[in-house]
Amino acid sequence: MKYTFEEKLRIVTLIKSGYPLKRLCKERRLDHHMVGMWRARYELHGEDGLRFGTKAYGYTAEKKEEIVRAHLEKDVSLPVLSIRYDVNCSTIRLWARKVRQFGYSVLYRQNKRGRLPEDPMARPKKRAPQTELERLQAENLRLRAENALLKKVKALVEEQQARARLNGQKPSTN
């Protein structure tokens, strides 16, 4: 559920005035973690911390690396980093997963959007090969994929026939 700025501000001011957080959350059926984040964002960023969401864009690669290193190497929790750097927790989690998988260099990629570099066995892009060597390499790759597919189909057909023989049935002609 989304809450307006006024609702968030009212709840935070109640807590700041001494109203117990847990009781307030229980009465209004709020998640105490979420309300705690509101309070922390209010203390750090003022009313703008409640008014605007976190900014998940506009970070340099160095800043991203600093945030991810703090999380992975210094074991700083995601909520603390989220409040400190004004970044969504899921964004930090995504950066950390990419760093674990590909290393810190992934944060410095030139192509900031889109997928990571493809697997060499992936389907080639639809463009005409420029040289004879490239054309032959593309054809070789296509034939390897076709051969692998035919082997897979043959193995499946043989498996189906073996199962049919065990059940005492004649194999189909298809």
In tens, the pLDDT along 48-83 reads: 777 766 554 567 888 888 999 998 888 888 888 887
Domain that includes residue 101, residue range? 61-108
d(CA 50, CA 52): 6
Indicate if 84 and 131 belong to the same structural domain.
no
Mean pLDDT across the chain: 81
**Residue 99 identity:** V
pLDDT in tens, 15-42: 889 888 888 888 888 888 888 888 888 8
Pair (27, 65) in one structural domain: no
Same domain, 128 and 174: yes
Same domain, 174 and 126: yes
Q: Over pLDDT 70: what percentage of the chain?
A: 80
Q: Residue 56: inside a domain, yes or no?
A: no
In terms of domains, do 84 and 104 share one? Answer: yes
Task: Determine the distance from the C-alpha atom of residue 61 to the mean position of all C-alpha atoms in its chain, rounded to a whole number.
Answer: 17
- Are 85 and 123 within one domain? no
- Count of structural domains within the chain: 3
Distances (CA, A) of 109 to 59, 62, 116: 13, 12, 9
> Are 38 and 89 found together in one domain?
no
Question: Residue 112 pLDDT more than 60?
Answer: no
Q: Is residue 113 part of a domain?
A: no
pTM above 0.85, yes or no: no
